[in-house]
Amino acid sequence: MSDAYVTLPLGDEDFSPSAPEQPGSFAPRPPPNLPHIMNNDGSGIRFDVSVTQPTKSGNGYQAYVVYKVTCKTNLEQYSSSEIIVNRRFNHFVWLHIQLLEQYPCYFIPALPDKSGIDPYFNRFDAEFIERRRWALQQFLFRLVNHPIIRTSKPLQIFFEGNEDSMKLPEEKKPSLFGSLFKDIGAPKVPKSMQDPEFAEMGLYIKELEDQLFEVHKFVERMVLRRRDFGSSLGELGLTLITMGTHEEKTGEEEAATTSKSFHDLGRSGLVFS
């Protein structure tokens, strides 16, 4: 278990305890003029990453920022030694979730907060975007410096996969208004009575209904007969008890035995009635 946890470099060598603390909790202090970060762990594996050129895309509520992610590596599992892709913050979130699920025994670096503390915070503020860009670059740098994580499938999908393979669960669900307008724009055509599938299902339901009706009639008759039989058995029991009482009056020993038998049969008849 000694290899289960690996200490990763922070990637901010200029940091010192006396450095002034930056406002906000969503990102650490970015060092000046650092275009990209190189893996240099002495393993012979080259893995350089950079997150640059944040660009706003879309309008209004659906606007978001796209980052240019560049990856240079000599790992044979990658299709190219240099990969350039555009990634949104949600793609980094997807990568983080996948790594947490697949590597629970490893320390996975945290992502910067999704937004500022103030609900009215402008997430497209230039300073905020720059801090986030640097924090996302630090996140990738720590991952590619990890001897296990840098060869992981989620990280390779992040660098080489398409956007559809990195959708979060909430992104896969259609919105309520989207489904509503879709239904309005293209109403469903009801099945025709002439459709073979519809006709076959209707025939099956009709046959099932007829069979259930027959079962109902049979059970009803059985209940009535059981009720009549119980009533007759009760009457027989009373008659046998009366006969037993009559035999007792004769006083003879043999009659007493017969009387007991009649009483026993009568009581049994009443029990089962």
Task: Name 153's Cβ contacts closer than 8 Å, sequence gap at least 6.
Answer: 102
What is the distance between the alpha carbons of residues 1 and 232, in angstroms, rounded to a whole number? Answer: 82
Residue pLDDT, tens place only, 208-234 = 888 888 888 888 888 888 777 777 777
Residue pLDDT, tens place only, 36-89 = 445 555 668 889 999 999 999 888 778 899 999 999 999 999 999 999 999 999
What is the distance between the alpha carbons of residues 273 and 262, in angstroms, rounded to a whole number? Answer: 16
What is the distance between the alpha carbons of residues 49 and 78, in angstroms, rounded to a whole number? Answer: 14
- Six token digits for residue 18: 């006396």
pTM of the model: 0.50
